[in-house]
Amino acid sequence: MAHDNNPGKFSRRDFVAAAAAVTVTGLSTPATADDLPRVDEADPTAQALKYVHDASTVDPAQRPADRFCNNCALFGGAADDAWAPCSIFPGKAVAGKGWCNVWAPKAG
Ligand code: SF4
């Protein structure tokens, strides 16, 4: 019953170091979409809102086919930006082709 066959396993020390590096990077760079960390689909908020990077994977019963982050009122980028900030996920970037269930139409 050895548990040594897990290539994805890393130490707590490695985790802390990685988390610190992400934090420092986030604080030391301008908040452009290219520099922002991407929202993790496994993040509790992302899960609660059913956020995904690829809207085409969403059950059509849950999402009208014309709704993407890049045409949502809360998307902080241009329509052709692959990634941009979203006010629902402060400090993170969401995918232009993504979606979540609080999608809102842009003001006309
Ligand atoms: Fe995408 Fe809009 Fe949801 Fe933000 S609020 S994740 S831009 S659909």
In this structure, the residues whose C-beta lies within 6 A of any atom of ligand 1 are 51, 69, 72, 74-75, 86, 88, 94, 98-100, 102-103
User: Looking at the whole model, is its pTM more than 0.75?
Assistant: no
Q: What is the pLDDT along the chain (108 residues), one digit of tens a residue?
A: 444 554 555 565 554 554 444 444 444 444 567 789 999 999 999 999 999 999 999 999 999 999 999 999 999 999 999 999 999 999 999 999 999 999 999 987
SS3 83: strand
Q: For residue 93, which of 26, 22, 34, 29 has the smallest C-alpha distance?
A: 34
Whether the CB-CB separation of 65 and 99 falls below 8 Å is answered with: no
Take atom 6 of ligand 1 and give the residue whose Cα is closest: 100
Please report the pLDDT score of residue 108 as a whole number: 75
